[in-house]
Structure 1
Amino acid sequence: MSTAENANADVLLKVHQAALAGMQAAGPGPLGRAVAFYAEMQAFGHDVSETTFRDILTCGGEGAEALKRAWRIQLTDWDYANGPATTAWAAGTEPRTDERRAAIHDRLGLEPATRKVLDAEIPVQKTAGPVVISQERKPWRGIGTQRGVDWYWPAYQRYLQEKKGWSPETTADLGDAAERVVERLADPTSSEAYQSKGLVVGYVQSGKTANFTGVIAKAIDAGYRLVIVLGGTLNLLRAQTQRRLDMELVGRENILRGAGNEVDSDYADDTAWLRNKFLSHGGMPSELGAFDVERLTTRANDYKSLAQGIRALQIEKREKGLPLYDPRNLDHAAARLMVVKKNKTVLAKLVKDLEKIKGLLGEIPALIIDDESDEASPNTANPNRSDGPDRTAINQKLSELLGLLPRAQYVGYTATPFANVFIDPSDTRDIFPKDFLISLRRPDGYMGVQDFHDLDSKIPPQERTFANSNEKAYVREIGGSIEEEDDISLRKALDMFVLTGAMKIYREAEDPRVDENHFRHHTMLVHESRLTAEHSELRGRLLRLWDEGGYTGPSGRERLRELFESDLLPVSRVRADGFAVPGSYDDLAPYIGPAWARIGADDRPVIVVNGDKDIERGEADFDRRAIWKILIGGQKLSRGFTVEGLTVTYYRRRAGNASTMMQMGRWFGFRRGYRDLVRLWIGRNESSGGLRPQEIDLYEAFEGICRDEESFRAQLEQYSVMVNGKPQVTPAQVPPLVSQHFPKLKPTSRNKMYNARLVEVRSPGQWSEPTAYPAENQTAALRHNTNLWIPVLDRLSDTTTHFSFHNADTGITHGFDAFTGQLTPEDALAVFRSLKWHGQHFAPSLAYLEAISENRREVDDWLVVAPQHSSSVQRIPLGTHKRSLSWFSRKRRQERYPLFGAISDPKHRAVAMRIAGSLPHSNDPNTEKHVARRRGVITLYPVLEQRPTVTATGEADLRGLVMAFAFVAPAAAHGQDEKVVRFTTIDSAQEDEAIIDAT
C-alpha cells in the first residue's frame, strides 16, 4: 500500500467505525448514507466511496486488515444475532446462514460487487450453536430496549479479543452460548420471584470457565446483583477461579477498590498484573455510567464471616420506597461477587450471614454458578432412613442457600452428561436442572477423546498411519501388569518428555507464531494410584530413571535420536499444523540441553501433588511461575485442576465409574502449537501380562464412555428441535433417556419413580444399533435369539453381492461383500417382537417399528444384509444347513451391565442408509438396484467375544453367540408427525416433576 492508500484506509476505518457504531441499537442500515454523514461531519477530504471500500479490503496492508477486522466483528455480531430484537431487520432469517447475511447486505444497501468481496473476505460461520433442552419460557431478553447496563459483557468480549487473541467468531460463539443460559434465567426485574435451575454440559478441560464468565458478565449487566461461584473443593481450584474472574471480568479498578495503591493489591506479586494483562475499564465503572463489582472474596481469602462482610451484602437502594429489583434501584447498585469453596464450614458462614439480612434477600436477584456440579453438590446420602432423608453436608448448605434466596438462579457446570445432579433428581429441593439443559459444542482446537481414538474410522487397521490414525499418532501402550515396574515404557515416556520440551524450545527460536511465553509450561503427568504411599515410591522410581537417563551424554542422546526418528519426527511431519519441524535430529540436538535444564537442572524434576498443601506451597501453581516438571498425582489432579502445558501422560490408574474416568482425562484440552507432540501412554488389556478380572482395558473403557457420550449428545440435538413451536423433550424427561445408556439407573429412593416413560424413538433413515443383548451367562436367552434368526439365515442368497458407497466429500469408496435376503414387514416384526434383551432398551425402537410396519403403513419390505470378511479365517457354521458365515469379534463393557460398545463396522453403514433413502447416489450399480423408497435394511452381525473352541466332533462351541443386528428404517417413515421421540407422563398433574412417589 502506498502512503496515500494508507491514509485513505485510515480515513475509511474511522468513518466506517463511526457508521457501524451508529447501527448498534437498531441493526444494519444504509451504509452509504451513514459513511457520507460521518465523512462530512469530520470534514475528511478523501474518497470514501463504496468502490474505494472494496479496493482497500482486497489490497492487503495494515490499514486494510484493521478495516477488515472492524467489519468482521460487526458482521459476526449480526450473523449470530438471535431473539426478538433482531425481528425488525433480520427478515425472518436464521442466524449463521447465507440468508441472514443476504438480509444484512440488503439492509446495508450494498452493491453486488461489495457483497461478493465481503462474503469472500469474511465468510459466514455456519457452525451450529449449543444444544438446548428447555421448558417453555416467557421471553424477557431483547424485548424492547436492552435490559440493564451493557458494560461487563462488552468489556469481557474486548478482553478476549485484544488480550487473549480470540477471533470475533470464537467470541461470538461464546456470547451465543452464554446468551442461551441467561435468557433462561428469570427476569431480574420481575415482581414475581422464580428460581430457575439449569445444567450446562461441556467437555473436560474445554473452556467451561470462559462460558460461565460470559454468563456472569451478561447476567450482572441484566441486573443480577449477587453472584456466588462455587469454585471446586480445593483451595487452589477456588483461587484459580477467583483469579480468572478478577483478571478477565472484574478488572483492575474494581480490584483496587478500597486499596491505597497498586502495591496493596492482592495481585501485587502476580506477573500478569505487573505486565498489565488484567482487564482495565479505564476508570471506575460507576463513574463511567455503569456500576461497580465488589469482591467479597479474594485470591487468598475465601468467604469469611466478618461484620464488614455482612454490611457488604446489604445492597444500598437509591429509591428507598421501591424494592431492590426495581430498575431504578437495580441499575445503580453495585454487584457483589464471591468465589466460595465447596466446603461445609465456609458455606455455613455464608448462610449464617445471609440469615442476618433476611429482610432484603427476597429482593436480591442472585446467580449461583456451581463449577464441577457433579462433585460434592448432589445429595448422595441414604434416602431411606426411618427419620426422613438425610443430606450430605454440602448439599444441605446449598439447599439452605437456595431457600434463603427466593430470586436465586442455579446453574451447574459439568463435563459429564451423566452427572449425578442430572440423573438423580430424587430430592425436589435439590439442584436437578428442571428448567434447562444446555450441551455446549466441542470447541475448535480442543483435543478430546475423539482425538485419541479412531472412532468409526473407515480405514482398515492395516492401512492406518500416523497421518490418518489418532491412535497411531498419539497413543502408546504400557507393557506389564500394574504390579510390575515397566521401566521400559516409563523410560520412553520420559525420553519423549525431554524431546517434546526440546521441540517447544526449537519452535520458540524458529517459529514466528510462537513467542517466548507460548510454552511457559511443559508438563508430564504420571497417574498410577490415589495412594500417597505409592506416590512416594513412584517418585523414587522416576528420579532413578531421570538420573540414569544420560540426557547430557552420548548414551542418552543416541536413545533420543532413535525415538525422534521413529516416533516424534514422522508424527510431526504430518500433524504439526504448520508449526516448525526440524528436518533431522541434528537440527533439534542443540535444544536438548536447554530442555533438560528447564526440567531438572534444579535437581527437582518431579513434583508430587497428592494434597491441597502440595498445591498451596506453590509448587504446582501455574499462575505464579513457569513449570517444566513431571507431576505425580492422585485425586487432587483428577478433577477441575488444570495441568498447564500437559504434553506427555503416563496413565495406568483404575477408576470405578464413567464420570470419574472422564474427569481423569487430564490429557484433554487445548494444545495450540504442540498438538503433534502430545503422547498418551496407557494400560491395555491385550498385552498386559494378565490383568486381574476386575481390571479393564483403560483405552477401550475411554472409547466406550466416549461413544455413550457422543450418542447421548447426538440424541439431545435431535430432541432439541421444536415441533409446532413446542419442545419435544423437557429436562424432566431426560433421565429416562439417560437410562437407555445406563440400564441400572433408578431414582435413589425405592419409593420414587420417574414421572416420564420413554415410549417411542423414531429413527427414519438413521443407523440404529441395539447393544443391550442378554448377558453371556444367559445362554437360554441367547439361544432363543439365535433360533429366531435361523430361518432368516437359511433364506440368504447362495452367493455374495459386492456393495460399495462413494463419499463425494472425502473421495473415499468403501465396499464389502455380503449375503442378502428379504423379509416382509410381518416376518421382520415377528422377529423384533420375540427378541430377548437385557432390560427394556429396545422397547422404544420396537414401538416405532410396529407403527411403521403394521398393515405395511410405511415400509414395504426389509433387505437383510450379512456382511462377510474378505478372508475365510473368522467363519462359523450357522443355520439349519450349517452354512459358513463370518463372525465378528466384539467385547462387552466390563462394567455393571453387559452392554456392548459399537458392534457394526462403519464401512457397512453408508450402503444401508443409501438403500433406505437417506444418503445420495452411491455410484455403485449393485447398491443402487436395491434402493427403494419404502425399503428398510437389517444388517446382521454374528458376534463372539472370543474365538470359538472346536468340540471333539469338529463343531464350533457357539454357546456365547450373540445374533446382533442394526436396522435402518426407510427415510420416509416419519410416523404421524415430525417428532423423533415420544413419552408418556405417569402423573400428568405433576408433569414438570422429574420424580414422583411410586404410590
Structure 2
Amino acid sequence: MSDIAGVEVVVDPKTPHTPWYPGPKASDRFWPPVKAILEDRVGDAAVTDIDKVTSLTLSKLNPPGNHQFSDRGLVLGYVQSGKTTNFMALAAKAADAGYKLIIVLSGVTDILRDQTQARIDEVLVGDSVEWYPLTKRGEDFAQSSGAAALFTKFDGALIAVIKKNPARLRRLRDWMTGAGKIAMQHAPMLLIDDEADQASIDVGAAGRTSTINGLLRDILKHPRSAYVAYTATPFANLLIDPSNENDLYPRTVIVSMPKPAGYFGPERLFGGIDSPDEAGLDMIRTIPAAEAVSARPPAGLGAVKTWSPTLGSELRRAILWFVLSTAAKRIRNGHGQHSSMLIHTSMLSDAHFRTRDIVFDALEPVRVGIATNDTSTLLELEEIWKSESARVPASSFGYESITWGELGATLRATIDDIDIVVDNYKSSDRLSYSSAKPTTAIVIGGNTLSRGLTLEGLTSSYFVRSASAYDTLLQMGRWFGYRGGYEDLCRVWMTDELRGWFRDLSKVEQEIRDEIARYRREGLSPLELGVRIRLHPDLAITEAAKMRNAVNASLSYSGRNPQTTVFRRLDGARLNRNLTAAKDLLETVQALWRRHREVPRGRLAQAVAPWISRRARGVHPALPRGLRV
C-alpha cells in the first residue's frame, strides 16, 4: 500500500516483504548529481514526487544483496509524461543500492534509442567516473568480451541502452553468460523496459515463443535480476498469462503513477471522462472527411507511387498557425526555443516525402508574402491569429495577450527558421534537438513519431492517420505532455471520428487505473489482478496475438454494468431508428402496464421480455398471446 498521494501500488500482501530501501542516503554516489540536474530542469516539487515514487518502486523489488531473485514489475505512466526521467531516477537509486548492471531497453528504432541514450548520457552518466557506459550515441551494444572483469573488478555500475533488436539482445545475452556464473553473482541486474508493450510481448504462433520475448527470458535467467516495465498503454502487459513464471507478467509489483501537475492529458483536450457535457479546452479543430481522404494515400500495394496529395484548407491553416504560435512563444519568452509541428497522415515512407512537397509549396509563398509585406498574406495571418487567440485566451492561463502588431514584427525571422523534416527509415535528414540552437521544424512521419519520441515544443498537430487498436492510437498522441509557457497556443487538427475515439479511450484508460486502485484497497496481489478492459465497437484493445490469454466477459463493476455506447452523431438514419425504438418501447410498456395490471406479478415481464428483445434488434413481432396495446 502506498502513502504517497495519487500513487497506487499492488503487491502480494501474503508474501513477507521486509522494507530494505528507506530512501537515498547522504553517502550515495549516483542519485545526488541526478537530483541536482532535475531540480534545475523541472523544479523541486516535481523532483520530490519523482524521489518518493522511485524509492517506493525500488523498495518493492528484492535487495540486490539477496543470493537469488527474479522480480517482475510494471510502472504505469501517461503518454509523454516523463517516464524517462522516472526510470533514470530509479536506475541511479538502484546503483546506489548495489545493483551493478543497469540495462535500458529503448523501443525498436535507432532514433528512439539515440534519444534515450542522449538523455541518459546528459542526466544520468554525465562525466561521472562511477558509471561505465556500454553503449553511446550512434553505437548500440557491441561488447563481445570483458564482462567477467567488469562484473568483479569495476567499483561503479555498468549501464547500456539497447534497442529491442534480436541481434543486439542476443549479443547482450551471450556477453553476460560468457562471464560465467560466479562473475554474474557479483553483478545484480536491473532491466528497465521502456515502451514495454511494444516488441517485448510474446506473440509467437503455434506454441512458439517470439524471438525478442524469448531473448528477454534468457537474459532474465541471470541469477539476481529485476525486470521493471514502463508503459503508458499497459493493455498487452496485463494480458500476459500470469501463471507462466518465465514470462514478463508483473507478478512482483504494479505501480500506477499519478497524473503530474501541468500535464496535458486526454481530458484536457477532449473533455471529461465522467460527464459527456464537460468540454475540453477549445483546441481541437475538425478536418473534413473529404480532406482527410485526400491527405491519406489510397490503399493497395504500390498505390502511393502514383498518389498526389492535395493541400487542404485545414492543413494550410495548421501550417500558418504553427508560424504564428512559434512567433508568439518567442515574444513571450524573449528568445527562441524548440518549436515543432507534427504532420501524421500515413505509416508509408513514400507518402511522407510527397506530403513534404505540398507543405513546402504551401509555406514558400507565405515566406515571400511576409518578406514583401503582401497585404493578402498578412490579412490571412492576422485573421487566424485573432480568431484562434480569442477561442483560447492567453489570460485563461495567466499570460499577457499578444497583439497582432507585436506578432507581425517577428514573423519574418520566425518563418525563415522553419525546416521541413521527414523522419522515417528512408530519410537522411532526421529530427534532432540541440541545446546549442533551438530547432523550429515541421516534422512529417509515421511509426518513428508514434512511439516514445518527444517532439519538443509541439504546438500544432495535423493528424489523420487511422489506427485499429487502443494502444496504437494512444501512443500516436504526441500532443499529450507538458506545455508550460504555451498552453494556450496548442492546437490539434483531426477528424470527428478520431476525436471521438480519443475521448472514448480516455475512459478506458481511467478505468484501468481505477481497477488497480481497487485491487490495492482490497489487498489483492498482482497475480489476482484481473483487470477489466472495456471493449469498443470500432477498435481492438491491442494486437490479437497479444490478447490470446484474454477472456470476453460481461461482468459487474461493483454493482454497475458499464457499456460502451457510441452515438454516431453524423448518421441521421441510425439516430432516428434509435429514437423510434426508444419511443415504441416506452409507449408499449406503459400501455401494457395500464391495461393488464391483473396479470400476476412477474408474469408480465416474463411474457414481454422476448418481444422487447426482438423489437430492440429491429424485428417487429406480434405481441404475446393475450396481450394487446
- Common fold, TM-score beyond 0.5? yes
Residue 341 (structure 1) shift: 1.3
* Matched residue, 1:65: none
Report the CA distance shift for 1:144/1:629 in structure 2 as closer, same or farther (over 3 A). Answer: closer
Structure 1 residue 152 corresponds to structure 2 residue 30: yes
Partner of 1:178: 54
Partner of 1:542 in structure 2?
359
Matches within 5 A, 1:866-885: none
SS in 1 for 2:90: helix
Within the candidate set 36, 49, 63, 1:187 is matched to: 63
2:237 match? 421
Per the TM alignment, residue 393 of structure 1 is displaced from its structure 2 partner at its CA by 2.0
Out of 201, 216, 232, the residue aligned to residue 107 of structure 2 is 232
Moved more, 550-559 or 394-403: 550-559
How far does residue 757 in structure 1 lie from its aligned partner after superposition?
9.6
Deviation at 1:715, TM superposition (A): 2.5
1:738 aligned counterpart, secondary structure: coil
Rounded Cα–Cα distance in structure 1 between residues aligned with 2:384 and 2:566: 46
Q: Structure 1 residue 367: deviation in Å?
A: 0.3
Q: What is the identity, as a one-letter code, of the residue corresponding to 1:483?
A: V
Whether 2:406 is the aligned partner of 1:581: answer no
- Structure 1: how far apart are the matches of 2:17 and 2:25? 12
Pair 1:744–1:556, CA change in 2 (3 A) = closer
- Report how far residue 579 of structure 1 moved: 2.6
Look up the equivalent residue of 1:310 and give its one-letter code.
Answer: A
Question: What is residue 532 of structure 2 aligned with on the other side?
Answer: 737
Q: 1:590 corresponds to which residue?
A: 409
Contact 1:785 1:835 in 2 (8 A): no
The Cα shift of 1:533 comes to 1.8
Residue 486 of structure 1 and its aligned partner are, at CA, apart by 5.1
Q: Does 1:489 align with 2:314?
A: yes
Structure 2 CA distance, aligned partners of 1:183 and 1:551? 58
- How far residue 477 of structure 1 moved from its aligned partner, in angstroms, is 0.8
The answer to whether the 8 Å contact 2:142/2:171 transfers is yes
Distance across 1 between alignment mates of 2:411 and 2:22:
62
Contact 2:190 2:227 in 1 (8 A): yes
Give the aligned partner of residue 821 of structure 1. Answer: none
* 1:483 partner SS: helix
Shift of 1:253: 2.8
Please provide the CA RMSD for this pair.
4.0
Structure 1 or 2, whichever has the larger Rg, is 1
Query: 8 Å contact 1:227–1:336 — kept in the other structure?
Result: yes
Give the SS at the match of 1:523. Answer: strand
Helix, strand or coil: the match of 1:409? strand
The C-alpha deviation readout for 1:491-545, integer Å capped at 9, x for no partner, is 1111111110110121133xxxxxx3xx521111111111122112211111111
Deviations 1:736-786 (A, max 9, x none): 5237789988998999867999986425xxxx4521689999xxxx99999
SS of equivalent residue, structure 1 residue 253: coil
**Residues 357, 597 of structure 1: alpha-carbon distance in 2 compared, 3 angstrom cutoff:** same
Using the alignment, how far apart are the partners of 1:413 and 1:248 within structure 2?
19
- Kindly state the Cα deviation for residue 470 of structure 1 after the two structures are TM-superposed: 2.7
Identify which of 328, 352, 356 aligns with 2:178. Answer: 356
- Residue of structure 2 in register with 1:341 after alignment: 163
Report SS of the residue matched to 1:315: helix
* Residues 432-451 of structure 1: pairs in structure 2 closer than 5 A: 432-451=249-268
Contact 1:232 1:371 in 2 (8 A): yes
Q: 1:744 to 1:504 in 2, by over 3 A?
A: closer
CA distance in 2, matches of 1:507, 1:493: 21
Rounded Cα–Cα distance in structure 2 between residues aligned with 1:595 and 1:746: 41
Structure 2 Cα separation of the partners of residues 432 and 500 of structure 1: 44
Shift of 1:142: 4.8
Q: Distance in 1 between matches of 2:20 and 2:546?
A: 45
Paired position in structure 2 for 1:762: 558
Please report how far the alpha carbon of residue 700 of structure 1 lies from its aligned counterpart in structure 2 after TM superposition: 0.7
Contact (CA 8 Å) 2:469, 2:542: kept in 1 or not? no
Secondary structure at the aligned position of 1:196 is classed as strand
How many angstroms does 1:568 deviate by? 2.1
Report what 2:301 is aligned to.
none
Structure 2 CA distance for aligned equivalents of residues 483 and 675 of structure 1 = 30
- 1:655 match: 467
Is 2:510 the partner of 1:710? Answer: yes
**Deviation readout 1:542-592 (Å, 9 max, x if unpaired):** 1111123333322111001111111124423343x223322x312321111
Letter in structure 1 aligned against 2:331: Y
Give the drift of 1:304: 1.0
The residue number in structure 2 matching 1:855 is none
Q: Which amino acid aligns with 2:63?
A: D
Q: Runs of 5+ in structure 2 lacking a partner?
A: 295-309, 569-573, 595-600, 620-629
Residue 19 of structure 2: aligned partner: 141
Query: For residues 146 and 674 of structure 1, do their structure 2 counterparts lie closer, same or farther at Cα, with a shift above 3 Å needed?
Result: closer
Matching residue within 364, 368, 380 for 1:559? 380
Shift of 1:187: 1.5
Matches within 5 A, 1:255-654: 292-307=130-145, 309-311=146-148, 313-316=150-153, 333-359=155-181, 360-382=183-205, 384=206, 389-403=207-221, 405-418=222-235, 420-425=236-241, 428-455=245-272, 469-471=279-281, 473-481=282-290, 482-484=292-294, 485=310, 487-509=312-334, 516=335, 519-549=336-366, 550-552=369-371, 553-575=374-396, 577-582=397-402, 584-599=403-418, 605-611=419-425, 614=428, 617=429, 619-622=431-434, 625-654=437-466
| Counterpart Cα distance in 2 of 1:679 and 1:750 | 34
Equivalent of 1:700, from 468, 479, 500?
500
SS in 2 for 1:141: coil
Contact in 2 for aligned 1:235/1:612 (Cα 8 Å): no
Cα separation, 1, equivalents of 2:260 and 2:593 = 46
Structure 1 residue runs without a partner (length 5+): 1-81, 84-94, 97-127, 255-291, 318-332, 461-467, 510-515, 600-604, 685-696, 798-825, 837-877, 880-941, 943-956, 962-999
Distance 1:180 1:607 in 2: 41
Q: Could you say if the C-alpha distance between residues 425 and 591 of structure 1 is closer, same or farther in structure 2, counting changes exceeding 3 Å?
A: same
The 3-state SS of whatever aligns with 1:606 is strand
Q: How do 1:834-849 residues align onto structure 2 when only pairs under 5 Å count?
A: none
Aligned pairs for 1:805-820 within 5 A: none
- 2:70 counterpart SS class: coil
Q: How many residues end up aligned between the 2 structures?
A: 578
Residues 613-664 of structure 1 show CA distances to partners (whole Å, capped at 9, x for unaligned) of 54xx554345675211111111111101111111000001111211000110
> Aligned partners of 1:791, 1:672: CA distance in 2, in Å?
56
Contact 1:201-1:413 at 8 Å conserved across structures:
yes
Question: 2: CA distance between counterparts of 1:155 and 1:796?
Answer: 75
Q: Tell me, yes or no, if the aligned pair for 2:469 and 2:541 is still in contact at 8 Å.
A: no
| Residues 224, 367 of structure 1: 8 Å contact kept | yes
Q: Deviations over 1:5-62 (max 9, x none)?
A: xxxxxxxxxxxxxxxxxxxxxxxxxxxxxxxxxxxxxxxxxxxxxxxxxxxxxxxxxx
Q: 2: distance between equivalents of 1:679 and 1:660?
A: 21
Matches of 1:302 and 1:177, distance apart in 2: 30
Greater Cα offset, 750-759 or 537-546: 750-759
- Corresponding residue for residue 563 of structure 2: 771
Counterpart CA distance in 1 for 2:323 and 2:189 is 49
Equivalent residues of 1:453, 1:470 under 8 A apart: yes
In 1, Cα distance between equivalents of 2:468 and 2:326: 33
**Cα displacement string for residues 349-384 of structure 1 (whole angstroms, at most 9, x for unaligned residues):** 1111112112222443110000001111111121x2
Cα distance in 1 for residues equivalent to 2:31 and 2:426 = 33
**Contact persistence 1:618–1:624 (CA under 8 A):** no
Deviation digits for residues 455-514 of structure 1 (CA, Å, limit 9, x no counterpart):
258696xxxxxxx9435x2011112423333521111111111110110121133xxxxx
Structure-1-length-normalised TM-score: 0.53
The amino acid of 2:246's aligned partner reads R
Q: 1:486 to 1:733 in 2, by over 3 A?
A: farther
| Partner SS state of residue 152, structure 2 | coil
